[in-house]
Amino acid sequence: MNIFYQMIALPLVFYSTTSLGSSTFPDSWIGKWTGKAQTVRDQKIQRTMQMTLEIRSTENPDVFDFQIQYEGEKVRQYELVAKNRSRGHWVLDEKNGILIDSFYSQNILRSLFMVNGKIIPFRYEKNRNRIHIDSPIFQAVQPNISGTPDFSVSSFSIINSQIALLKKNE
């Protein structure tokens, strides 16, 4: 089994099968959420910016508008599409040919993907009227490989991370 599958794909399968998606998702997440996002590198805050996440229902009960905007940037118009609600499987459609599998369980929406040699896990966690977003970016090349010939482990160096705490607008 190749290292990518072991380190990336298996955790996604685990996340999606450990508990079923809630019937309140994404309905309980509908609304406009705003707050501060920070980019952190080498334990130092590089940038602090305003962030907005807006989730809206559409005419199709399996499709939700999922819009993200960072201060000074254009709105990113995505759609969150139900793939298999009973497993908590959703797809974030970036409307440009990019489809990101996402998995919902216990108030957390998770995804994991690679872009140009970088591993990017996303975690959106809702707690009452707040959503906490955590997205570190790891370098996929030159992993630190340890363990034994029968059981090897690859760990990856972090490049930076983005952390945001958004509050629901009333």
**pLDDT tens figures, 116-130:** 999 999 999 999 999
Give me the pLDDT at residue 5, please.
40
Residue-range domain boundaries for the chain:
3-168
Average confidence score pLDDT of the chain: 89
User: Are the CB atoms for 166 and 34 separated by under 8 Å?
Assistant: yes
Rounded to an integer, what distance in angstroms lies between the CA atom of residue 123 and that of residue 41?
A: 18
The mean pLDDT of 76-98, rounded to a whole number, is 97
Give me the pLDDT at residue 118, please.
96
Rounded to an integer, what distance in angstroms lies between the CA atom of residue 151 and that of residue 153?
A: 7
Q: Which of residues 24 and 53 earns the better pLDDT score?
A: 53
CATH number of 3-168: 2.40.128.20
